[in-house]
Amino acid sequence: MTAVDTDLGDPTVLAVRPQPLGAFPLPLGYLLIPASPETEAARLALLAGQVPQWPAALKAHELALAGDREGALAALSGTDPISRYNRFVMDPESQDPDELRAALGEFAVLVDVVLFALGLSDAVPEIGSATGELAAVVDSVRASKALDEGDPDGAIAHLDQAAAAAGEVSEPLRGVLLGASASIAGGDDAAVRFERALKALEGADGLRVARAEMHLGLAGLLHEQAEDRPDLMVRAVPHYHSALQLVLREEAPLLWAAAHANLAAAYLTMPMTEASGQLRLGVAAQSLRSALKVYTPEDYPEQWASVQLNLANSLVYTPSNHQADNLVEAVELYEAVLRARDRDRDPMGRARVLANQGNVLAHLG
């Protein structure tokens, strides 16, 4: 009989370790899985970064992941410590923190993690005797505190400790924590961290959005470094594609739009040294049109204007059997930006758009 089997048969065990804490978005990322043969497969799936076949006993968790807070709270009708704690995660005022700490045993530190993470307490949780995933989530909120205090190096150190603790119990959690440290670090160190994070998250299909964010972060880093090292651009492009393969527009619209816009920008800056260059320009135009489905002038005026200009420029320079039509569309795109751009706020930007539009009009005769 394994230790897990023993725990599942022991009525004094509230929740089997390790718990799938910290990897999934909140509130699910802080919810505990109660010890039960019915919930065991789901616990293991969540630890692996997978969305499980939810058993009836975890209806609240399923609803929490779907964003239905009220439904999740209604499903948590039990009076046991785990049900009370899970209600506390979504409704902190529903429980007395001191009573909950006393009832939770080794999981008591999570009460302080939740209070701090939700901004209900300034007291930074102490790791104490916590290990594994419990130590990881405590160190992750300590990293947040360090970052708030303007100490990025301290934040990275806490996240490194958290990742080391997570590595003992869950590779996906380790990957999420490495990705968090990569977003703080800079330069080559950040790139290495992103790559390690993505490797740890391979196969974690339930964390596709987190993986896409890391691909986009790594691509953006390489894209920026390519200004001084042009060879890095070819390394950035596959990460933009990977981000787009992982998420749909409906799931993460801003991430999806940013990946399309930046992929297009990368293609537009790559030299046209061979026939494939023309194909890249066509793909760039398609990606820019996709980004404009999210970036509207009303909601995202700056991003909209940037993408509009890139699309207009791509139409001007992309060889086509319908070049005249492309030029007419480019003129209209420039005109839309000019109508939206304040003459006094950005006179130089407006002048550049007018110059580009003038060149196209000259080509049209």
In this predicted structure, what is the pLDDT of residue 94? Answer: 94
pTM of this structure: 0.90
Classify residue 289: in a domain, yes or no.
no
Contacts of range 136-139, beta carbons closer than 8 Å, 24 or more positions apart: 136/21, 136/22, 136/162, 136/163, 136/165, 136/166, 136/173, 136/177, 137/21, 137/22, 137/30, 137/110, 137/113, 137/162, 138/109, 138/113, 138/162, 139/165
| Cβ contacts of 52 within 8 Å, gap of 6 or more | 41, 42, 45, 46, 58
Classify residue 290: in a domain, yes or no.
no
One-letter amino acid of 3: A
How many domains does the chain contain in total? 1
Give the domain range for residue 19. Answer: 1-106
Which residue, among 156, 114, 155, 154, has the nearest Cα to 134 in the 3D structure? 114
In this predicted structure, what is the pLDDT of residue 338? Answer: 81
Classify residue 1: in a domain, yes or no.
yes
Orientation of helix 81-90 relative to helix 109-117, angle to 10° = 10
Classify residue 34: in a domain, yes or no.
yes
Classify residue 284: in a domain, yes or no.
no
Burial (CB count <10 Å: 0-12, 13-18, 19+), residue 344: exposed
In this predicted structure, what is the pLDDT of residue 1? Answer: 42
In this predicted structure, what is the pLDDT of residue 9? Answer: 58
H-state helical runs in 149-269: 152-166, 171-184, 187-200, 208-225, 233-246, 253-269
In this predicted structure, what is the pLDDT of residue 183? Answer: 96
Q: 93-132: per-residue pLDDT in tens?
A: 999 999 999 999 999 999 999 999 999 999 999 999 999 9
Number of H-type helices and E-type strands within the chain: 18, 0
In this predicted structure, what is the pLDDT of residue 363? Answer: 66
Classify residue 122: in a domain, yes or no.
no
In this predicted structure, what is the pLDDT of residue 335? Answer: 83
In this predicted structure, what is the pLDDT of residue 50? Answer: 98
* SS3 call for 289: helix
Classify residue 208: in a domain, yes or no.
no
Residue-by-residue pLDDT tens, the chain, 365 positions:
455 555 565 668 899 999 999 999 999 999 999 999 999 999 999 999 999 999 999 999 999 999 999 999 999 999 999 999 999 999 999 999 999 999 999 999 999 999 999 999 999 999 999 999 999 999 999 999 999 999 999 999 999 999 999 999 999 999 999 999 999 998 899 999 999 999 999 999 999 999 999 999 999 999 999 988 988 999 999 999 999 999 999 999 999 999 999 999 999 988 776 666 678 888 999 999 999 999 999 999 999 999 998 998 888 877 766 777 778 888 888 888 888 776 667 677 677 777 677 677 766 66
In this predicted structure, what is the pLDDT of residue 332? Answer: 84
Tokens standing for 294?
A: 């999210």
Orientation of helix 152-166 relative to helix 171-184, angle to 10° = 170
Classify residue 111: in a domain, yes or no.
no
Q: Would you say 264 and 284 are in contact if contact means Cβ atoms under 8 Å apart?
A: yes
